[in-house]
Amino acid sequence: MKRFFDLMLALLAILLLSPLLLLLILAVRITSPGPAVYWSDRVGRYNRIFRMPKFRSMRIDTPAVATHLLENPASWLTPIGSFLRRTSLDELPQLWSILVGDMSFVGPRPALFNQHDLIALRSEHGVDALLPGLTGWAQINGRDELPIPEKVRLDSEYLQRQSFLFDLRIIWLTALKVLRRDGVSH
């Protein structure tokens, strides 16, 4: 049922958001050199690496590390990068990852391939068995501000509590967080 829900919601979202997606592609291309979509190596289910798309919010010469590890993250942003991140519009291309089955709407956020501490802790707690999500329980309970052990604790809680109704609750709370721009530090 979860996969069917993901497919139907992703198709509907792409259909309804296609004008916005095209507008964002143009905005990224016009305001900075390089492609509109950035493909990032991420860790998926059972620690399999997959390529996850995002609208590019950082310059093309930005090091491939988690944003919080950059000395001055704001200096790496494109002219519209801050807006894309604050509004979470940079995440919209991940609808593709949901369509192809690399991601779900709800699950732990996919780790970067080089976030070894997060990957190891998730594996230790069995969280690696979940498909990563566009949003998740940790996302709505702190997002960028959470230390890794707390993220994994919340991911483990999701693993234990997961259900269709819990997913709907997380999606609803995510929409509220995005509208309020809660928990975005970069």
Q: What is the pLDDT of residues 70-92, one digit of tens each?
A: 888 888 999 999 999 988 899 99
* Strand bridging mode 111-112 / 37-43: antiparallel
Taking alpha carbons only, the member of 70, 145, 151, 141 closest to residue 118 is 151
CA 160 vs. chain centroid, Å, equals 21
The domain spans of the chain are: 2-180
Taking alpha carbons only, the member of 98, 107, 169 closest to residue 133 is 107
Angle value at C-alpha 113, between 45 and 111, nearest 5 degrees = 60
The confidence band for 122, taking pLDDT boundaries of 50, 70 and 90, is very high
Which amino acid does the sequence have at 146? L
Q: How many CA atoms lie within 13 A of 96 on its CB side?
A: 15
Mean pLDDT of 140-160: 92
The confidence band for 66, taking pLDDT boundaries of 50, 70 and 90, is confident
Query: b or e along 169-184 (b: 16 or more beta carbons within 10 Å of the residue's beta carbon)?
Result: ebbebbeebbeeeeeb
Mean pLDDT of 25-30: 97
The confidence band for 118, taking pLDDT boundaries of 50, 70 and 90, is very high
Which pLDDT belongs to residue 68? 74
Q: Is 60 exceeded by the pLDDT of residue 147? A: yes
